[in-house]
Amino acid sequence: VQSSSFAASPSLVWNGNEYGLTWVDYRNPPGLYFTRLDAQGNKLGADIHVTVAFPACFGTRMLAWSGDFYGLVWEDIRGGDYDVYFTRLGVDGARLDADLQVSGALLDAHCPTLTWSGDHFGIAWSDDRHGAQGAEIYFARVGCP
């Protein structure tokens, strides 16, 4: 995947037929992008702008496959501190939902990870909500309609 600007932090998943790839790209408009790749790594269609990245979506992101659609989590600073957000993408990369804020801490949430259980997504992340006591690991379960 070639970018006209700075691209970083890819997340790649195989859906049984092709790869789904997300990354942060600082092109115009900047943001979190998605594209599809065949088994040989050839692009299948255009890049899709998923969500705004600068200053949001700067940190970690992760893509997972449910069998029918992708789940995507990322760090986002739109509220002033890092929070974890989630959305679903169709096979073609089209958004299926609005952004869902998963963490709700007053301090930073980092390094989200995502997995599919068979009927919901499990999301875990590191969270500084207790300040000087240090970061802890938190979990959220996200059901799908």
What residues have CB less than 8 Å from 17, skipping those under 6 apart? none
pLDDT in tens, 64-78: 999 999 999 988 887
Among 45-49, 58-62, 67-71, 133-137, the minimum mean pLDDT is found in: 58-62
pLDDT for residue 49: 92
pLDDT in tens, 90-129: 999 999 999 999 987 667 888 899 999 999 999 998 887 7
| Amino acid sitting at position 85 | Y
DSSP calls for 77-93: -TTSS-EEEEEEE-TTS
Distance between CA atoms of residues 126 and 111, nearest Å: 6
Cβ burial, residue 122 (10 Å; 0-12/13-18/19+): middle
Query: Under a CB-based contact definition with an 8 Å cutoff, are residues 84 and 106 in contact?
Result: no
Q: How many Cβ atoms are within 10 Å of 132's Cβ, its own excluded?
A: 5
pLDDT in tens, 21-31: 998 888 888 88
Quote the pTM value. Answer: 0.87
Average of per-residue pLDDT values in the chain? 86
Tokens describing residue 122: 């499990």
Between 15 and 77, residue with greater pLDDT: 15
What residues have CB less than 8 Å from 132, skipping those under 6 apart? none
Question: How confident is the model over 32-55, as a mean pLDDT?
Answer: 88
